[in-house]
């Protein structure tokens, strides 16, 4: 059976109108899903509003240091009560890795109700991906139940902005859940959304300075984590070339616009290209490049092994890996500004966790070879584990933003936890035996 036929069957099973066969004018179906109610954008629970915003990481509230309430032990803000060295071992062995990751995941689940982000937002999309990977490694039904509960509560639907890369991020985990449980309801909304966008691509300029393109194109480097893995996964799942064509066009243009081929790092967006740090270095934001360095492995994981465009992504990943190693300090940390760590002396652990994940994935798959990569990974992991509080709060996570900012020992956020669990999943794969 051809994959294109499989694609049509998936849509039919989902109860949605067949987009290819019936001039479907929008990305959502108004037909009910069997046994799961009706997926309607206007009835969507837990989505963003449809109002445009700057795109990518934006400061949702001035002065907001984290997504949690000000209750004690909730991990809110940058409390800076005291410097913290955690009680967990950073040794690369299964028991230590499982203990710290289970504790971090447990803390986040217990405190999830305090999170101010919308449940299907990009911030939580990164968390869910890390949660899924950790649950998949450890067969944690508690985490799988948590993820299914979130999806069911939100009717497996994404936020409203069809073209915005942030608003399809949670689709990565919905696809993984569909592949595990074979429930078409888990896939329908993501599939229809992605197909509509890929078959009706935005023609606006890919630029943060364009009032339309800043939101409808992959005009900021964070977007290369948020959206590309979805299109890669759907191409492999359905065989429909439209998903691969869209992935290739957007990723290549974003890279041509934002990738510095001398530094082998991405600018956060076009407005950051002329900026310089206090030491005169170009501004490369730690988490911004972390998004890309973690996003490329997710793209490659979701593409077929014989996909003709793999070498392009592999080459960028290898180039970035050298720059990532050069930016690590002697203690194993990465900082908010990769080329000016003295201006941001504290670690930035969302970036650090994404870099550890990428290094671990590269070593496991053989894309990175050499002792220097493993040494950097082990130093980085040990440094990350030091920032975990006894109850499982992961500190030194920079708040939502778009450029380097400081973070303290009690500053946390869900995307940092997701990145940590991604890194822990690779550590367990590498050293769990």
What amino acid positions are annotated as catalytic residues? 222
Residue 19 neighbours by CB under 8 Å, 6+ apart:
11, 192, 195, 196, 199
Neighbours of 369 (CB within 10 A): 11
Residue 121: closest CA among 109, 132, 129: 129
Q: Which ranges of 200-328 would DSSP assign to H, the alpha helix?
A: 213-216, 223-226, 228-238, 241-258, 286-302, 310-327
Distance CA 151, CA 290 (A): 26
Residue 211 neighbours by CB under 8 Å, 6+ apart:
none
Say how many CA atoms lie within 13 Å of 16 toward its Cβ.
Answer: 29
Residue 334: closest CA among 399, 290, 300, 277: 290
Supply angle C-alpha 139, 141, 142, rounded to 5.
125
Measured over the CA atoms of residue 209, residue 213, residue 219 and residue 225, the dihedral's sign is: positive
Helix (H) or strand (E) holding 417: helix 414-431
Q: Phi, psi (5° rounding) for residue 29?
A: -95, 145
Distance CA 417, CA 420 (A): 5
Helix (H) or strand (E) holding 38: strand 37-38
Distance of CA 309 to the CA centre of its chain: 22
Helix (H) or strand (E) holding 198: helix 185-199
Helices vs strands, H then E, count in the chain: 15, 4
Measured over the CA atoms of residue 228, residue 276, residue 215 and residue 117, the dihedral's sign is: positive
Distance CA 115, CA 113 (A): 6
Say how many CA atoms lie within 13 Å of 235 toward its Cβ.
Answer: 26
Residue 51 neighbours by CB under 8 Å, 6+ apart:
none
């Amino acid at each position: 059976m051809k994959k294109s036929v499989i694609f049509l069957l998936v849509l039919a099973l989902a109860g949605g109108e067949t987009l290819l066969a019936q001039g479907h004018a929008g990305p959502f179906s108004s037909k009910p899903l069997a046994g799961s109610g009706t997926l309607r954008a206007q009835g969507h629970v837990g989505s963003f509003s449809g109002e445009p915003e700057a795109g990518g990481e934006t400061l949702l509230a001035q002065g907001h240091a984290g997504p949690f309430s000000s209750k004690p032990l909730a991990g809110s803000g940058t409390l800076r009560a005291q410097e913290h060295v955690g009680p967990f071992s950073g040794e690369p062995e299964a028991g230590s890795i499982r203990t710290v990751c289970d504790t971090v995941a447990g803390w986040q689940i217990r405190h999830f109700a305090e999170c101010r982000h919308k449940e299907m937002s990009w911030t939580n999309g990164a968390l869910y991906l890390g949660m899924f990977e950790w649950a998949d490694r450890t067969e944690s039904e508690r985490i799988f139940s948590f993820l299914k509960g979130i999806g069911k509560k939100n009717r497996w639907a994404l936020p409203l902005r069809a073209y915005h890369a942030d608003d399809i991020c949670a689709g990565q985990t919905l696809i993984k859940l569909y592949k595990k449980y074979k429930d078409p309801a888990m896939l329908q909304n993501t599939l229809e959304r992605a197909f509509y966008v890929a078959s009706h691509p935005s023609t606006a300029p890919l630029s943060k300075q364009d009032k339309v393109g800043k939101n409808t194109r992959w005009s900021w480097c964070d977007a290369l984590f948020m959206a590309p893995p979805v299109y890669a996964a759907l191409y492999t799942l359905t065989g429909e070339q439209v998903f691969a064509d869209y992935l290739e066009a957007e990723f290549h243009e974003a890279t041509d616009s934002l990738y510095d081929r001398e530094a082998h790092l991405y600018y956060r967006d076009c407005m950051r290209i002329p900026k310089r740090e206090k030491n005169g270095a170009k501004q490369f934001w730690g988490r911004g490049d972390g998004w890309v360095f973690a996003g490329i492995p997710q793209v490659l994981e979701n593409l077929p092994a014989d996909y003709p465009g793999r070498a392009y992504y592999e080459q960028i990943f290898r180039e970035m890996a050298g720059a990532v190693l050069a930016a690590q300090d002697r203690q194993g940390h990465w900082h908010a500004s990769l080329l000016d760590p003295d201006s941001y002396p504290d670690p930035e652990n969302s970036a650090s966790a994404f870099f550890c994940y990428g290094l671990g994935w590269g070593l496991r798959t053989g894309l990175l070879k050499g002792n220097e990569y493993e040494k950097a990974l082990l130093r980085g992991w040990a440094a990350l584990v030091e920032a975990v509080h006894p109850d499982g709060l992961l500190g030194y996570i920079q708040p939502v933003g778009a450029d380097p900012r400081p973070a303290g020992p009690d500053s946390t956020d869900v995307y940092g936890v997701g990145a940590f669990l991604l890194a822990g999943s690779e550590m367990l794969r590498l050293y769990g035996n």
